[in-house]
Amino acid sequence: MRPTLVILAPLIVALTAVPAVQGGLISYGLCQTGCNALAVACYAGAGLVFGTVVASPAAPAAALACNVALGQCSAMCATVALLAPTP
């Protein structure tokens, strides 16, 4: 058997056994939209406007907490929607 065929045959079999992923990027975009909507609600609940507060030590504690929550939500979106297959 030729070396090329020895390498390609198992590779082709392995690739055909992998399930198709559909909607991963769309799911990621929807998840990020949900995270941003929650961040806007978090800021509004604190009496602030999302996007107008600079993240610095002088920023209100509520704004910093909202930013932390947004970061965690965004990281979860990347983990779930980009890395996990969506059948």
pLDDT in tens, 26-72: 888 999 999 999 999 999 998 989 888 877 777 889 988 999 999 99
User: What is the Cα–Cα distance from 23 to 82, expressed in whole angstroms?
Assistant: 10
pTM score, whole prediction:
0.66
- Over 90: is that where the pLDDT of 75 sits? yes
pLDDT of residue 38: 93
Nearest to 73 by CA among 34, 16, 20: 34
- Work out the angle at residue 41's Cα, subtended by the Cα atoms of residues 36 and 43, and round it to the nearest 5 degrees: 95
What mean pLDDT comes out for the span 1-21?
A: 64
For residue 65, the model assigns a pLDDT of: 92
Give the gyration radius of the chain's Cα atoms. Answer: 22
Q: Count CB-CB contacts under 10 A for residue 82.
A: 13
Q: Which residues make Cβ contacts (< 8 Å) with residue 16, sequence separation at least 6?
A: none
pLDDT: which is higher, 30 or 83: 30
